[in-house]
Chains A and B, each alone.
Chain A
Amino acid sequence: MPSVELIASSLVSGFLLGGILALTALGLSLVLGVMRLVNLAHGEFLIAGAYAGLFLVKYTGIDPLLGLVVIGGAIALLALPVHRFLLMPLAGKGPEAPMMTTFGLSIILQNVFVLAFSADTRAIERDYANVALTMGPVTVGQIYVIGFAISALVIAAVHILIAYTAFGRDLRASAADAEAAATVGVNVRRVHALTFALGAGCAALGGTLIGIAFSFTPVSGATYLLTDFAIVVLGGLGNILGTLIGGITLGILQSIGGVVLGDGYRDLVGLALFLVVLAFRPQGLLASSRS
């Protein structure tokens, strides 16, 4: 029987990590909700963010947390041509063609990462990532607290962007009914391009945080893609705040799985949960959007 301190610390760590995971899942949820696109290259966008943070600190000395805006913006900009030249020409060809194209992109990016940066396991080394905070029986890594705070801020900002701005109105209209939105003058193509870029940018931010808190390899993206899908399923498609709740739920469940079954089972818990929810509560998937 593990000690109370260990259990309490695991649960709090899981809660905080869940917030970071929610940020990584946000883009996947947005793209799926607005564009009806399963972006199988989402995990690679996340890893691209982790590499961007790594090289930012290596070559400029700028702390990746201070450079987050630059990293997110850079990856979002890189995502625009992907949408313009790979996905947009496939509009109207059914849902499989764009999805398989992102799968091809995912394979390309993984192997380009290996060729360019080697297959080594990397981590963004920062002093503040190794500090532990203790409060009562709970001990958690300081980076978890910082990561959670940043993630919650970004998620809140995206929520405000979508709920209260003109772009958000266009986005919600396109998500509800793209054809109707187009007839009343919404530039759906532009909304899709910006949504895709926003999703990639959020994934990159999450990736940088993951890169500081943990380690990553060129092929880590696949694991995060599936974890993020579990979060999207739990939180409801395209539901911003639901994503946060889904992420936290998954983070806590992963921690419980890690404590009860052993650390190797952490990721398995998320995948099993995903399949079980699909089997028994699929309506949870579409809680806030029409199919």
Chain B
Amino acid sequence: MTTQISSTRGSRSVATSGGMVVTGVLLIGLCIMIFVPHVVGEYGTQIGFRALIYLTLAEAWNLLAGYGGLVSLGSSSFVGIGAYILMGMLNAGGFGIAAALTASGLGASALAVIVSPAVFRLRGLYFTVGTLALGEALRLFMINVSYFGGATGIFLNSNPPPIEVLYVYAVALAGIATLVMEVSTGTRFSILLRSVRDDEDAASQVGVRAFRVKLAAFAVASLLMGAAGGLQALKLGAIEPYGMFGLQWSIDTLSIVIIGGLGVRFGPIVGTVFVIALAEALADYPELHLAMTGVILILVIRFAPKGLCGLAQDLYRAFIGRSGRARAPQAGGAQT
């Protein structure tokens, strides 16, 4: 468990000295991004929207896996539930988009609470397998139950808002995710969460209620993922179970965080830029793109356990000498 010990040290310094700076930089960046559609045109706005959805999912997943040690392969469950809730509410009529998105998040959070007895019952790796099974089970359920549209899915009755409007919602959602991460990683909660990650037994011995701490992180992360799924559904205007509950959501989210830097505050944003760039470069070769993602994942896990941010940190230290303390966020930021 040597890597875990060192990762604790790394993320603690980030959380205490760099966290506020990172959040400030991210929020200022998001404010600037509001004006992006006026500059880059429709295609650029589409990519920006996708990046913001990915960033939100990655922030949530980083909270779970990076800070809580809960490696989930079930991101698609919460994206999908959020998508179906939003479609249901907007088609029923009488609800605004903000209300529907909130409901998407709360619904996903409720799902997390409901399945928590199953996925937390056994530690560590069973959480991963349990969440993987959850996503597949929900997908099969939605395909087979005609009430939810079966394999065809659901269409939005009304026209989806234009991409410029959706984009502003995405900026706001990513902003909320950033604030949530600031609160989760900069307060006492982050210490509780990391104590449970590093040694659940020891944490319980000193009075940390491990189950509650894990559940809180799981519920918060699922809330963000559900809202992101709802927003994605609103953009698509039509959803079906293969897409919204597809393993692709889980793969993308996990790849972003691991490539960017697991448990590093700036990891998700660096990873998002990298993964979006790779997807754009290989857009015509989907199989090659996925296979490449697998290769990069294996290489990063083996040679750069702290992702690109960790690599940047190491390089920075090599140049400056050993005096660079907690400079990784800034070093990582320079790439974005």
Contact = CB atoms under 8 A, between A and B. Distances in A.
B291 interface: yes
A86 B124 CA distance: 21
A274 B126 CA distance: 11
B122 A97 contact: no
A6 interface: no
Contacts of A268: 137, 140-141, 144
A48 to B, nearest CB: 15
A92 B136 CA distance: 31
A272 interface: yes
A272 B295 contact: no
Given A104-B294, A104-B295, A271 B140 contact: yes
A260 interface: no
Contacts of B118: 275-276, 278-279
Contacts of B4: 94
B1 A275 contact: no
Nearest to B4: A94
A259 interface: no
A278 B141 CA distance: 19
Interface residues of B, number: 44
- Could you tell me the dominant secondary structure of chain A's interface residues? helix
A112 B73 CA distance: 21
A223 B117 CA distance: 23
Interface in B104-131: 115, 117-119, 121-122, 124-126, 128-130
A274 B140 CA distance: 14
Interface in A29-65: 36, 38, 40
A93 interface: yes
Contacts, number: 125
Interface residues of A, number: 47
B140 A262 contact: no
Most buried by A among B71, B290, B301: B301
Interface of B: 1-4, 69, 71, 73, 115, 117-119, 121-122, 124-126, 128-130, 132-134, 136-137, 140-141, 143-144, 247, 251, 254, 258, 287-288, 290-291, 293-295, 297-298, 301-302, 305
Given A103-B254, A276-B118, 12 more contacts: A95-B124, A108-B294, A108-B295, A229-B133, A265-B144, A268-B137, A268-B140, A275-B118, A275-B134, A278-B121, A278-B122, A279-B121
26 contacts: A40-B132, A86-B298, A93-B3, A94-B1, A94-B4, A97-B3, A97-B305, A99-B125, A99-B128, A101-B301, A103-B73, A106-B294, A108-B295, A108-B298, A111-B290, A112-B291, A115-B291, A222-B136, A226-B129, A226-B133, A230-B133, A261-B144, A264-B140, A275-B119, A275-B134, A278-B130
